[in-house]
Amino acid sequence: MRIFGKGRHRPSASWRQATDRAFTLIGDGRYEDAGALLTRAADLEPWLSESWFNLALLHKFRHDWEQARAAGLRAVALLDRETGAPDWWNVGIAATALQDWPLARRAWQAYGLRVPGGATDSGEPVGMELGSAAVRLSPEGEAEVVWGRRLDPARIEVLSIPLPSSGRRWGEVVLHDGVPHGERTTAAGHAYPVFDEIELWAPSPVPTWVVLLEAATEADRDALEQLAADAGFAAEDWSSSVRLLCRTCSESRMPSDEGDGEHLDPHDHSEPGHPGPLGHRTDGQLWVPERECGVAAPASLVRGLLDGWVADSPDSRDWRDLEEVC
């Protein structure tokens, strides 16, 4: 293969040493030192797309999107194949972060994805129909996997109500990485990838509340979730939906449902039988009326929503200890 009239050769030993050392430093979080080495590697082998791909990757880790876009474009200019290169995916993430929609479209198309509209359209790429996925919020901190709707290859709208420790809200849009870490499967056999959040792309104005419910039956609990959804917001029974998983389990192929009967998930590191964030199930035989519930709704609506839920069945429903947590 030839690039710019020169025969392509293997990178030099100096290039490999600088690059290997740089990625060791990246693993230690020493981005500045890694950047100096990767810049040196690019100076040594400027005609290698890998030199610029590595720099673009570093700038992505640093969330320096202008530099990530610039290095990514140099990388794709040196590619020896037309479609499917991960270099284009990194360009797409950087372009999405910068809301450079023409470049984002070009990147996804060059990767091999079908994007409605023309490459020069100035608006967001919509209608890609990528379906549901899970996203791991705060992957380097108290990571939490929640459900969402993929808007495009780099953004997910959060449809679960995250726990307050994540610092995220229902309805927010997060930028995510391209390589999934784990899967969540349903009882129907469908598998959904779990992507890692990179950063918040669009905040949500809707606050998160925690409230203790007295719900005599599952149907009572379901009624609140439906009432919130009908109002255009959300409620989620954290006593049922939250599981504590170790990192290895979280990044593996995990069932998303709770199971039936006395089945207990061997990957669940919470305490069965205890409602709230420390446990997500009972032994399968006993419904616990006290439920810890997350509610995503405006302050002007949340109490009326809960009162309306109780008014529909006052003998089997009640609430207390409402608190805004995020």
> If we measure between CA atoms, which residue out of 269, 140, 169, 49 comes closest to residue 41?
49
**Domain CATH for 73:** 1.25.40.10
Taking alpha carbons only, the member of 251, 119, 252 closest to residue 196 is: 251
- pLDDT one-digit tens code per residue, 270-308: 333 333 333 334 444 589 999 999 999 999 999 999 999
Query: Of 65, 85, 111, at which residue does a domain stop?
Result: 111
Instruction: Provide the mean pLDDT of the chain.
Output: 84
One domain for residues 83 and 143: no
Q: Are residues 304 and 165 in the same domain?
A: yes
For residues 160 and 193, membership in a common domain is answered with: yes
CA distance 205 to 215: 28
Q: Would you place residue 255 in the very low, low, confident or very high pLDDT band (cuts 50, 70, 90)? A: low
Confidence of residue 241 (pLDDT cuts 50, 70, 90): confident
Would you say residue 79 has pLDDT above 50? yes
Residues 181 and 65 in one domain: no
Rounded mean pLDDT of 32-43? 96
Question: Structure pTM?
Answer: 0.82
Whether the CA torsion 219, 222, 226, 227 is positive or negative: it is: positive
Q: Could you please report the per-residue DSSP string of 47-97?
A: T-HHHHHHHHHHHHHTT-HHHHHHHHHHHHHT-SSSS--HHHHHHHHHHHH
- From the list 204, 217, 215, 196, the residue with the least C-alpha distance to 167 is 204
Same domain, 105 and 173: no
Percent of the chain whose predicted confidence (pLDDT) is above 90? 66
pLDDT tens for each residue of 191-201: 888 999 999 99
Based on the structure, what is the number of domains in the chain? 2
Distance CA 25, CA 34 (A): 6
Q: How far apart are CA 2 and CA 8, in angstroms?
A: 6
Are 93 and 174 found together in one domain? Answer: no
Residue ranges making up the domain that contains 297: 126-258+281-325
Q: What is the pLDDT of residue 192?
A: 87
168 and 70 within one domain: no
